[in-house]
Amino acid sequence: MTMETVLKWCVALITSSVTYFYGGWSAVLGALLAFVIFDYITGVVAAGSSGELKSKKGLIGIARKVFIFAMVAVGHLVDGILGDSHMLRDTIAYFYIANEVLSIIENGGRLGVPIPPVIVQAVEVLRGKGGAKND
């Protein structure tokens, strides 16, 4: 097999997997992916600036990010059973998008970036509604 053939097979496998597990790619999934990446990068930078950067924590962080996409896939599969069109999948994605935005804001605060008071207040309200604090 040539390298080109292997690459084509890999692309076909990835795209068919995305279609099966997520119902195709959408703007919601694209936004979630972007926020997950931003959160991970800002988390690494914040941990590095405070001397808390550890490979074990980073590995756990990656596992959490993979779990987010596993939950979204489960939501899509349940949608298929219920006959709904991406209702549960998108609801789960919106939840994790909101969670990632809060985490990005917290990472900015750890870096010493000035956060507008109204944003800090909104984070505190959302954290209170969510119960326990997420890492």
| Residue 22 banded pLDDT, cuts 50, 70, 90 | confident
Q: Is position 84 within any domain?
A: yes
0.85 surpassed by pTM: no
Q: Is residue 10, in this structure, part of any structural domain at all?
A: no
Band the pLDDT of 135: cuts 50, 70, 90. Answer: very low
- Domain extent at residue 45: 26-130
Whose tokens are 């991970």? That residue is: 40
Q: Give domain status of residue 82, yes or no.
A: yes
Q: Is residue 126 part of a domain?
A: yes
Q: Domain count for the chain, please give it.
A: 1
64, part of any domain: yes
Q: Tell me which residue of 75, 122, 83 sits closest to 101, measured CA to CA.
A: 122
Query: DSSP string spanning 16-45?
Result: HHHHHHHSS--HHHHHHHHHHHHHHHHHHH
Asked if residue 135 is part of any domain, the answer here is no
In-domain check, residue 103: yes
Asked if 71 and 92 count as a contact pair (C-beta separation under 8 A), the reply is yes
- Percent pLDDT > 70 in the chain is 93
